[in-house]
Amino acid sequence: MEILETAAALQALTEKWRREGRSIGFVPTMGALHEGHLQLVRAAAVENDEVVVSIFVNPTQFNNSEDFKLYPRVPDSDAEMLHGTGCTALFSPSVEEIYPRPTVLQFDFGLLERVMEGAHRPGHFNGVATVVSKLFHLGRPHRAYFGQKDWQQVAVVRQLVQDLSFDLQLISCPTVREADGLAMSSRNRRLSAQARAVAPRLYEALQLAVECLQQTKQPAEAQQAALELLGAHSEIEVEYLEVADARSLQPLPANAAVGQEAVICVAAWLGGVRLIDNVVLSLT
C-alpha cells in the first residue's frame, strides 16, 4: 500500500493506472476508521483493480469549530487497519494541500439540502461538495463508494455527480452496525460508557417507526411513535427525526403508495456527541 500526501502524487499515480487500463475505486473518509469503512474498501477491491482511500478531516464541512477540533484523528491506526483490505493507495493530505487558497465557489443543492442535515448544519453540504469535487478531480476514479448511514450526503453527492458530469459510478453500501444495532461511526469512540449503553435506542426508534409506517401508512404517526420512545430517555436530545421520500428527501405524504421508497432519518445528541442514523424501506 502506497501512502501519498500530495495532490500531485495522487494525480500521477491514478493517471498511470488509467493509462495501463486499470479500474480505480475510491473511498473518501475522514479517518478514525471502523468496520463500516473497511467494508467499503473491500467492496471497492472486489470491483476494481486499484483502490484509493482518502483520509482527510475536511474543515469546510464543519459548522462547529469545537466539533472539528474534537473529531478523532488516529492516522497510524488507520493505516494499519487498511492493510489486507485491498487498499492499494492511501491519500492523506494536509489542509494546505487540499485548500492552498480559500475557496469562493458555493454549491446549492436546492430542496435536497433544505432539510435535516442541511437545515441544522448550514454550509455543511457546500463543504462536502467542495472536497468531494476536489477528490474526484484528483483521483479520477471509475467508482466511488459511500456508506448509507450518511443517506442525505449520498443524495447530495449523487446530484453533484449528475450536475457536473463526473465520469464515475456512485455506489452506496449498506450501513454496518454493532451487535446491538448502533450504526458504526467514528464519533462512537467519543461516547462515554453510559452514553454508549443508551445509544442503541436510536436504531430501536427507527425500527419502531418502520413498523408503524408499514402498518398505518401515516408518516406522522410513525414519527410520533419513534419520538416517544426516544423521549423516554432523558440523555437523548433529538435534533430531528424525519420520515421522507428516499430520493427527494421531502416529507413523505400520508397514505403513500405501496412500493414507495422511504427513508427515516434521525440526528440526536448523546453525552455531547452528535449521532445520525437512518433506515430505508419500501412500503408494502
pLDDT at 242: 98
Q: Tell me the CA distances in angstroms from 61 to 30, 68, 212, one per residue in order.
A: 11, 9, 34
Of 71, 133, 73, 63, whose CA–CA distance to 103 is shortest?
Answer: 133
CB atoms within 10 A of CB 183: 24
Annotated binding site for beta-alanine: 61
Q: What's the grid cell of residue 122?
A: 448550514
According to CATH, where is 3.30.1300.10 located in the chain? 186-277
pLDDT at 98: 98
pLDDT at 253: 95
Q: What is the mean pLDDT of residues 222-249?
A: 97
The number of residues making up the chain comes to: 284
Fold of 186-277: Pantoate--beta-alanine Ligase; Chain: A,domain 2 (3.30.1300)
Q: Could you tell me if 25 and 48 are in contact, meaning their C-beta atoms sit under 8 angstroms apart?
A: yes
Q: Is 105 exposed, middle or buried (0-12, 13-18, 19+ CB in 10 A)?
A: exposed
The rounded distance, in Å, linking the Cα atoms of 128 and 113 is: 12
Of 97, 138, 122, 121, whose CA–CA distance to 12 is shortest?
Answer: 138
2-173 CATH, one of 3.20.20.70, 3.40.30.10, 3.40.50.620, 3.40.190.10:
3.40.50.620
Annotated binding site for (R)-pantoate: 61, 153
Q: What's the grid cell of residue 113?
A: 439540502
How does pLDDT run across 95-118, given as a tens digit for each residue?
Answer: 999 999 999 999 999 999 999 999
Q: Give the confidence band of 189 by pLDDT, cuts at 50, 70, 90.
A: very high
Q: Could you tell me if 250 and 271 are in contact, meaning their C-beta atoms sit under 8 angstroms apart?
A: no
pLDDT at 260: 94
Instruction: Name the average pLDDT for the chain.
Output: 97
Q: Could you tell me if 80 and 43 are in contact, meaning their C-beta atoms sit under 8 angstroms apart?
A: no
Catalytic residue, chosen from 37, 120, 124, 233, is 37
pLDDT at 14: 98
CA dihedral 49, 55, 60, 66 (to 10 degrees): 150
Annotated binding site: 30-37, 61, 147-150, 153, 176, 184-187
pLDDT at 74: 96
pLDDT at 64: 86
Q: In the sheet that 273-282 helps form, which strands lie side by side, from edge to edge?
A: 236-245, 261-270, 273-282
Q: Tell me the CA distances in angstroms from 80 to 4, 29, 32, 155, 195, one per residue in order.
A: 15, 15, 11, 31, 28
Q: Give the confidence band of 201 by pLDDT, cuts at 50, 70, 90.
A: very high
How does pLDDT run across 19-47, given as a tens digit for each residue?
Answer: 999 999 999 999 999 999 999 999 999 99
pLDDT at 63: 86
Annotated binding site for ATP: 30-37, 147-150, 176, 184-187
pLDDT of residue 246 exceeding 90: yes
Residue 37 annotated in active site: yes
Q: Give the confidence band of 6 by pLDDT, cuts at 50, 70, 90.
A: very high
According to CATH, where is 3.40.50.620 located in the chain? 2-173
pTM comes to 0.95
